[in-house]
């Protein structure tokens, strides 16, 4: 049976979310893997407990998967989508192989400057609310970046930001390839 990969990401919030899921699953299939996409779950969105049903279905998919590929492309701000990040943390806690990519190659501290004023103060960078801006030269918060280093492969980013950050699947496919190599090596 092919190994399974949970496809986490804010892709589900795009207008063509279902088509993106099919595209990602096709790429997985080309590498001998089965992609599990949150929108494959059938949930009655009009039910009063719809959001809980989505939570449980997503969690069951992660539990059933051998690995996760998290789309950590910045979402509605300077950092990754918290829903995706929760799933990455949960997968790491459950001992899954963890991969991730971001289609924005900028480092976090640079990116924060697009959203708020950042100044140097007492040897640290601070935003206009006085909160420290993480400045380790990483793409996002160190917890996600090093989770990938420790439980899978380093974050995959393109050399240059693609024109369409939500529909360029190059970095995603690199993750699929890395996952296939790791999972098949583990099986051999």
Binding site for a second copy (CB under 8 A): 10, 12-15, 17, 50-52, 54-56, 58, 75-83, 85-94, 112, 115-116, 126-127, 129-134, 136, 138, 140-147, 149-150
**Smallest distance, a second copy to C-beta of residue 1, A:** 23
| Complete DSSP assignment for 80-106 | --HHHHHHHHHHHHTT-EEEEE-S--S
Closer to a second copy by CB, 97 or 133: give it.
Answer: 133
Do 117 and 127 meet the contact criterion of CB atoms below 8 Å apart? yes
Q: Name the minimum Å distance from CB 169 to a second copy.
A: 18
Query: Is residue 38 packed enough to be buried (19+ CB in 10 Å), middle (13-18) or exposed (0-12)?
Result: buried
If the CB atoms of residues 116 and 177 are measured against a second copy, the closer one turns out to be 116
Q: How far apart are CA 79 and CA 87, in angstroms?
A: 15
- CB closer to a second copy, 137 vs 188: 137
For a second copy, the closer of residues 89 and 105 by Cβ is 89
Nearest approach, Cβ of residue 180 and a second copy (Å): 23
Backbone φ and ψ for 119, nearest 5 degrees, come out as -130, 160
Q: Smallest distance from the beta carbon of 149 to a second copy, in angstroms?
A: 7
Select 77 or 186, whichever has its Cβ closest to a second copy. Answer: 77
94 contact partners, CB below 8 Å, separation of at least 6: 62, 63
Q: How far is the CB of 19 from a second copy (least distance, A)?
A: 14
**Sign of the C-alpha dihedral, residues 8, 10, 11, 12?**
positive
Rounded distance between C-alpha atoms, residue 11 and residue 167, angstroms: 9
């Amino acid at each position: 049976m092919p190994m399974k990969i949970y496809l986490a990401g804010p892709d589900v919030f795009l207008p063509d979310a279902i088509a993106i899921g099919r595209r990602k699953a096709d790429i997985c299939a080309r590498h001998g893997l089965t992609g599990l996409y949150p929108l494959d779950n059938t949930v009655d969105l009009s039910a009063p407990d719809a959001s809980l049903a989505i939570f449980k279905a997503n969690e069951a998919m992660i539990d059933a998967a051998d690995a996760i590929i998290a789309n950590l492309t910045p979402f509605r701000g300077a950092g990754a989508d918290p829903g995706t990040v929760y799933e990455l943390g949960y997968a790491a806690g459950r001992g899954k192989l963890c991969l991730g990519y971001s289609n924005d190659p900028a480092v976090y501290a640079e990116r924060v400057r697009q959203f708020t004023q950042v100044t140097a103060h007492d040897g640290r960078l601070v935003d206009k609310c006085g909160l420290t801006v993480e400045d380790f030269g990483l793409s996002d918060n160190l917890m996600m970046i090093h989770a990938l280093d420790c439980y899978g492969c380093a974050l995959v980013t393109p050399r240059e930001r693609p024109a369409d950050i939500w529909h360029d699947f190059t970095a995603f496919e690199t993750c699929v390839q890395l996952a296939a190599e790791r999972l098949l090596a583990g099986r051999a």
